[in-house]
Amino acid sequence: GDSVTQMEGPVTLSEEACLTINCTYTATGYPSLFWYVQYPGEGLQLLLKATKADDKGSNKGFEATYRKETTSFHLEKGSVQVSDSAVYFCALSDGFQKLVFGTGTRLLVSP
């Protein structure tokens, strides 16, 4: 079945460092891809999404590009802030509404 694999965390960075969180997927069709963020004590919030190959999703300085050839959707940010500390989930949707989530990657940003 469909699956999403994320890099293990936690990822620990200093403020203003560059961030990359790797995400790869396995799917039989042409899924849509998502990054969700979960701040402590809260539910998941959509961060960005891409619906077809070569699409780039972006929001709040975060970006991810849908790479069909490498089945990847890596999350990047050029300069992280302390407020970006959270758990980030990569997910795919096969078009039938069900989201398949990765295990999540915790990001810790120190001042």
What is the DSSP-derived secondary structure letter of residue 28? Answer: S
- Specify the stretch interacting with other proteins by CB under 8 A; choose among 8-16, 19-27, 71-79, 94-102: 94-102
Task: Confirm or reject binding of residue 93 to other proteins (CB under 8 A).
Answer: yes
- What residues numbered 54-83 form the site for other proteins, per CB under 8 A? none
- Specify the stretch interacting with other proteins by CB under 8 A; choose among 13-21, 35-43, 61-69, 71-79: 35-43
* Burial of residue 20, with CB atoms counted within 10 A of its CB: 0-12 exposed, 13-18 middle, 19 or more buried: exposed
- C-alpha–C-alpha distance, residues 25 and 91, integer Å: 9
Distance in Å, CB of 33 to other proteins, minimum: 10
Element (H, E) at 23: strand 23-26
Task: Confirm or reject binding of residue 28 to other proteins (CB under 8 A).
Answer: no
Q: Write down the residue that tokens 């890596």 correspond to.
A: 74
- C-alpha–C-alpha distance, residues 90 and 60, integer Å: 16
Residues lying near other proteins in the complex (CB under 8 A) are found at 32, 36, 41-46, 49, 51, 89, 93, 95, 97-99, 101-104
